[in-house]
Amino acid sequence: MWQYQAPLRDMRFVIEEWLAAPNDWQNTASFAGLDGELAAQILEEAGRFSAGVLAPLNASGDQEGCQYAQGKVKTPTGFPEAYKAFVEGGWASLACAEADGGQGLPQLLNAALMEMLFAANHAWAMYPGIAHGAYECLKAHGSDALKALYLPAIVSGEILPTMCLTEPQAGSDVGLLRTRAEPSAAGQYRVTGNKVFVSGGEQDLTDNILHLVLARLPDAPAGSRGISLFLVPKILPDGRRNSISCDGIEHKMGIRGSATCTLSFEGAEGWLLGEPHRGLAAMFVMMNSARLHVGLQGLGHAEAAWQNASAYAAERQQMRAVSRPEGKPEAKVDPIHYHPAMRRTLLELRTLTEGMRALGYWTAHGLDLAEYADTPEQRQQAHRWTALLTPVIKAYFTEQGFRLASSALQVFGGYGYVREYAIEQTLRDSRIAMIYEGTNEIQANDLLLRKVIGDAGQGLQDLLQRMQQEIEQSESIPSCQTYARALADYGDKTSAITTTLIQAASTDPERPYRAAGDYLRLIGLLSLGFVWLRSARLAAGREADPFYAAKQESAAFYFNYLLPEANHRLALLGATRHGLPFLAE
């Protein structure tokens, strides 16, 4: 019933036209051998793997779930074999450097791969999901000896990493963690403590697991400045089993094929990664790409929701429609995708999904430019706007992924609520992404407090300037004029409210915290306006091709029906001048 095919045509549009990424690749020493054609072939292959191997295990993995017994975890039937195929296909090493045995491809292509994996089977994709982040972290902070020991195995996919952060009393507030690490022989440490919510903390996909563990050294200051990062393998290099036990797995609302483990470290042997007490900074290397990837989960769920809802709505016949496409004869009963409420739902699904794809890939491309662009200025600038957009991608995309999964479920009516059609699984799976990797509330604070106010609005000005360039290019095209004007107007209003919030913070320090959620949604809407203005410009005059005709329709829908929410967010941001009472205790 549930189906997934990689949206290759739209991926090519985003990469080759919207981003014109091949031009940047050719101007960048690291990617000079890559062109649009080769990228498309790689994505086609990734699409075959996702649709052919992962998607068929999505519903069965959910129904079977993971089984825990006596410290061991059995993942759902087919998961280990799918991982073997993933490794053999070279997907684990896509964006790892060639010098490390990887394929040296851009983050941009890795983002497209991630979208497909998460769309096809979120639970399965959790296992390799943070491998690239761990690779970057080890590469940046590991000693040569540690890198020699573990980097090739991560790149090859022979070993899978985990992140061990959360403890029962330390969730969003990682500074409350209590796990200890004591120096032992030969530069090693012994780690003791309990970690919860460790994805893939135990599994049967790889023989060894490499845990990245946050813990405190004996002399550590309290709070988040006393946290160090340790590398703690399940199996030690000499073949001994480390003192780590998996005490159980969570019974979750969704991603039931992903083992969410409780781990006990009982004097487990490991190594310090990075400097003492600087563990959060070291882990932060993983965070930007990890947050982008969680955002791509939202995109993947939106894509799956769109595909399944649109297929069902074209097939299901209920009631006579109030209007029909030109040339369609009257009928006693019509496919439900003729009904206006369903058309609106489906257009919203398509428009937001495609818009998020361009925005998410733009950010991934920014990560590449921040690392590989030729001049330091280019790298600095790319770093700035990707840092600004990362919390938006994480929070806005995951919120939309969940909301759109619910919209798609609604298209199915009663059938949406039963297991058989698996759209209810998309809804359940999508919900976690609003929580982990920093809750969406924390992302909103990060955006407004750190990335905007902390930077006196500079990063935002960069973003608005890029929009301004697009506005100038578009406004001479008749079909784009009203969109360009609307976007310019929202840009001005966003600047103004940003100034207001920055000023207000000095007398009412709580106000930005009251405003952060709406501010993030405003930036999300504005960024998607930028996406759709450029898409409309690229599609102008090409309506003979149904692909571009659909882009024009979606742009119109975005500017007429979706972007007006930006006005609402602006009004709410004004309303945050009103204080919020405390709740009775």
CB of 455 to a copy of itself, least distance (A): 19
Give the closest residue to 567 by CA, choosing from 487, 472, 449.
Answer: 487
Tell me the one-letter amino acid at 317: Q
Separation between Cα atoms, residue 8 and residue 116, nearest integer Å: 10
Nearer to a copy of itself, 237 or 574 (CB): 574
Nearer to a copy of itself, 266 or 315 (CB): 315
CB of 95 to a copy of itself, least distance (A): 28
In the chain, the N- to C-terminal Cα span, in Å, equals 49
DSSP string, 532-582: HHHHHHHHTT-TTSHHHHHHHHHHHHIIIIITTHHHHHHHHHHHTTS--PP
Separation between Cα atoms, residue 148 and residue 472, nearest integer Å: 51
What does the block give as tokens for 69? 């017994």
DSSP string, 444-503: HHIIIIIIIGGGTTHHHHHHHHHHHHHHHHHTTSGGGHHHHHHHHHHHHHHHHHHHHHHH
Instruction: Name the burial class of residue 375, with classes exposed (0-12), middle (13-18) and buried (19+) by CB atoms within 10 angstroms of its CB.
Output: exposed
Do 17 and 538 contact (CB within 8 A), yes or no? yes
Nearer to a copy of itself, 361 or 412 (CB): 412
Nearer to a copy of itself, 241 or 328 (CB): 328
User: Chain centroid to CA 448: how far?
Assistant: 19
CB of 495 to a copy of itself, least distance (A): 21
Nearer to a copy of itself, 319 or 496 (CB): 319
What does the block give as tokens for 452? 């905007």
Separation between Cα atoms, residue 165 and residue 168, nearest integer Å: 10
Do 97 and 151 contact (CB within 8 A), yes or no? no
Do 523 and 392 contact (CB within 8 A), yes or no? yes
What is the enclosing helix (H) or strand (E) of 291?
helix 279-315
User: Chain centroid to CA 92: how far?
Assistant: 17
Active site members: 437
Nearer to a copy of itself, 140 or 571 (CB): 571
What is the enclosing helix (H) or strand (E) of 107?
helix 107-129
Nearer to a copy of itself, 234 or 337 (CB): 337
